[in-house]
Chain A
Amino acid sequence: MSSASNHTPPSGLAAWLTSETPHSRGHAKCVQLYLGWLSLARNPLAMLGLAIVLILIAAALLAPWIAPYDPISQDLHRRLLPPGTDGNLLGTDELGRDILSRLLYGSRITLYVVALVVVTAPVAGLIVGTVAGYAGGWLDVVLMRLTDIFLAFPRLVLALAFVAALGPGIENAVLAIALTSWPPYARIARAETLTIRNSDFISAIRLQGATAPRIVIGHVMPLCLSSVIVRVTLDMAGIILTAAGLGFLGLGAQPPQPEWGAMISTGRMFILDQWWVAAMPGLAIFTVSLGFNLLGDGLRDALDPRAGR
């Protein structure tokens, strides 16, 4: 175990967490999670990414308590104040709303979009990919051609079509993003499944009489999961940008919702004289996207089964 060897002899909880001889199923899981955490914690950039993501989550949870102003109440006397005036730390926008407060509340929308996409697209992709890869034959052909069809749609254009058909709003934007982002996960999962399906441990479980669903769910999926998780965190930035892009085009979140993309969109009118109106939400999108990317890179190193812990 190389992970534990460069530490001083652990005691108490640390000893329990690095035990070579776990005493129960739960204990073994804890040890594995802890060792994974140790290898992630060795990567400072990944920890920076994790910190950004945690700050985003904290901001979304605590927005009503930490935001200095109401994000949607207007005060035209105080419009377009530069950062730092009168307690408006990041200035105000064209309707006199505090930009910091709007960014904090906007993190809720960003997180909402990310969460909804994450519970739909990768799950669908994982199921389609592992089933296609394990079953093979005509099922594989049908599922993969379906994947190709969805892959051929330009994401933003399909999203536009969706929103045009169903009306603008965050939910429809999420639906459009999810529908166009599952095919890459299906491809990854299928490629992983093809390398796993002929391995001896799958043959062995088949010889125990296991049914195909049991093999796919219990034996194939756990091995595909890590590459899918990594891909999800790396895609997170793209999802946020697409949601912001839809907001920018006026097809995502609707005013007066403080969505970051929509904020940039209105700020563009003042970009030369009042740069902060567009720059602040832009900075927020940039930081959060960067955070997810850094975390994704770190997770790839920590979760890669071939890295051999």
Chain B
Amino acid sequence: MPESSETALLIEHLDVRFGKGDGAVHAVRDVSVTVKRGETFGLVGESGSGKSTVLRAISGLAKDWTGRIAVDGTDLGKARDKAFYEKVQMVFQDPYGSLHPRHTVDRTLGEPGRIHGITDVGARIESILRDVGLGPEFRFRFPHQLSGGQRQRVAIARALMLEPKILLLDEPTSALDVSVQAEILNLLQRLKREFGLTYILVSHDLAVIAHMCDRLAVMNSGRVVEELTADQLRRAEPTDRYTKQLLTASLGYNRATADSLLTFD
């Protein structure tokens, strides 16, 4: 897809390596994707396929990348400035590990406001808590007083404190109960409409991807093996052999399928 004013995020020839010498891991190989403003773009693949690493490279957490990453037409360097963090935020997979255990919800949510000099942080915290479906009574609680779903709502609220345009979602529901998963996904859909967000959603769960995404890229061994629209996925008409296998595997376990699985590299 060519670059245009509608492009929120552009990735070209992205390579990410961890470590040096013989022990180096080539986690992402020559990945190029384009995400349009306002769409939800899925990255799907098995564990170790490099999908989370792509997010970490975009967010600046993984530093050893080469290639081109551009947000809103501006190329990103290795170091990120405050303006970038106001545009792009991330929600992590494990809500039990992504909140500081000794900080109240108030402190967790207030910190980005204080870093970026937002005035009236208190009022912003109350409105954002309402937006993610938590009442004001949660404001001064500690993470250990919250359930997994509530914690993930706080993590989403924290990501929204700076009113970003792009949200990177790293398996935001995989650590949650199935019933809570649906609530969080619906919350994300609603927030996307209300705030005009663009999502990049990483998941290994094809059902989540099919429910949330407009388009998706299937990754395996650090490469994008296929780009699909959600409709193509729902109609189960992928062309790549790996995607077909992933789709079969997602339908549930049966011995014949398990025996026929191939290793792709």
A contacts, CB < 8 Å to B = 1, 20-25, 27-28, 32, 199-201, 203-210, 214, 218-219, 222-223, 305, 308-309
Q: Which residues of A contact B93 (CB under 8 A)?
A: 200
Contact A23 B115 (CB under 8 A): no
11 additional contacts (CB under 8 A) given A28-B140, A209-B80? A20-B141, A20-B145, A21-B137, A25-B107, A199-B97, A201-B98, A201-B101, A204-B99, A209-B81, A210-B111, A309-B144
Which residue of A is nearest B82, CB measured? A209
Contacts across chains A and B counted by CB atoms under 8 Å = 81
Is the C-beta of B61 less than 8 angstroms from some C-beta in chain A?
Answer: yes
Q: Which residues of A contact B85 (CB under 8 A)?
A: 207-209
Distance in Å from the Cβ of A145 to the closest Cβ of chain B?
Answer: 23
Give the top 10 A-B pairs by smallest Cβ distance, nearest first: A200-B98, A22-B140, A208-B112, A209-B85, A28-B140, A21-B137, A200-B97, A200-B92, A201-B100, A209-B82
Q: What is the CA–CA distance of A28 and B100 in the complex, to the nearest angstrom? A: 15
Interface centre among A20, A200, A218 (most CB of B within 10 A): A200
Contact A21 B141 (CB under 8 A): yes
Contact A207 B90 (CB under 8 A): yes
Report if A204-B155 is in contact (Cβ < 8 Å); known contacts: A21-B137, A23-B140, A209-B82: yes
Is the C-beta of B165 less than 8 angstroms from some C-beta in chain A?
Answer: no
Is the C-beta of B59 less than 8 angstroms from some C-beta in chain A?
Answer: yes
Is the C-beta of B116 less than 8 angstroms from some C-beta in chain A?
Answer: yes
Q: Which residues of A contact B162 (CB under 8 A)?
A: 208
Report if A308-B144 is in contact (Cβ < 8 Å); known contacts: A28-B104, A204-B98, A222-B102: yes
Distance in Å from the Cβ of A241 to the closest Cβ of chain B?
Answer: 33
Is the C-beta of B243 less than 8 angstroms from some C-beta in chain A?
Answer: no
Interface residues contributed by chain B, number (CB under 8 Å) = 37
Contact B112 A305 (CB under 8 A): no
Contact A203 B61 (CB under 8 A): yes
Contact A219 B100 (CB under 8 A): yes
Contact B115 A24 (CB under 8 A): no
Distance in Å from the Cβ of B168 to the closest Cβ of chain A?
Answer: 9
Contact A22 B141 (CB under 8 A): yes
Contact B140 A200 (CB under 8 A): no
Q: What is the CA–CA distance of A196 and B218 in the complex, to the nearest angstrom? A: 32
Q: Which residues of A contact B140 (CB under 8 A)?
A: 21-25, 27-28
Q: What is the CA–CA distance of A132 and B197 in the complex, to the nearest angstrom? A: 39
| A-contacting residues, B82-99, CB 8 Å | 82, 85, 89-90, 92-94, 97-99
Which residue of A is nearest B90, CB measured? A207
21 contacts between A and B (CB under 8 A): A20-B145, A21-B137, A21-B138, A23-B140, A25-B104, A25-B106, A25-B140, A28-B141, A28-B142, A199-B97, A200-B93, A201-B98, A201-B99, A204-B90, A204-B98, A207-B60, A207-B89, A209-B85, A209-B115, A218-B111, A305-B101
Main secondary structure of the interface of B (DSSP, over half): loop
Is the C-beta of B158 less than 8 angstroms from some C-beta in chain A?
Answer: yes
Q: Which residues of B contact A222 (CB under 8 A)?
A: 102
Q: Which residues of B contact A21 (CB under 8 A)?
A: 137-138, 140-141
Which residue of B is nearest A26, CB measured? B140
Q: What is the CA–CA distance of A219 and B162 in the complex, to the nearest angstrom? A: 20
Report if A209-B61 is in contact (Cβ < 8 Å); known contacts: A1-B145, A25-B140, A200-B97: no
Contact A200 B111 (CB under 8 A): no
Which residue of B is nearest A214, CB measured? B115
Q: What is the CA–CA distance of A308 and B145 in the complex, to the nearest angstrom? A: 11
Q: Which residues of B contact A214 (CB under 8 A)?
A: 115
Q: What is the CA–CA distance of A223 and B97 in the complex, to the nearest angstrom? A: 14
Which residue of A is nearest B56, CB measured? A203
Distance in Å from the Cβ of A188 to the closest Cβ of chain B?
Answer: 17
Kindly supply a per-residue 1/0 record for chain B positions 8-47, scoring 1 wherever the CB is within 8 Å of any chain A CB and 0 otherwise: 0000000000000000000000000000000000000000
Q: What is the CA–CA distance of A305 and B80 in the complex, to the nearest angstrom? A: 33
Q: What is the CA–CA distance of A150 and B220 in the complex, to the nearest angstrom? A: 51
Contact A207 B61 (CB under 8 A): yes
Q: Which residues of B contact A207 (CB under 8 A)?
A: 59-61, 85, 89-90
Which residue of A is nearest B161, CB measured? A208
Report if A223-B101 is in contact (Cβ < 8 Å); known contacts: A28-B141, A207-B89: yes
Kindly supply a per-residue 1/0 record for chain B positions 110-145, scoring 1 wherever the CB is within 8 Å of any chain A CB and 0 otherwise: 011001100000000000000000000110111011
Q: Which residues of A contact B155 (CB under 8 A)?
A: 204
Q: Which residues of B contact A205 (CB under 8 A)?
A: 100, 111
Distance in Å from the Cβ of A227 to the closest Cβ of chain B?
Answer: 13
Q: What is the CA–CA distance of A305 and B102 in the complex, to the nearest angstrom? A: 9
Which residue of B is nearest A219, CB measured? B100
Contact A206 B111 (CB under 8 A): no
Q: What is the CA–CA distance of A261 and B97 in the complex, to the nearest angstrom? A: 49
Contact B116 A209 (CB under 8 A): yes
Which residue of B is nearest A24, CB measured? B140
Q: Which residues of B contact A204 (CB under 8 A)?
A: 90, 92, 98-99, 155, 158
Q: Which residues of B contact A201 (CB under 8 A)?
A: 97-101
Q: Which residues of B contact A22 (CB under 8 A)?
A: 104, 140-141
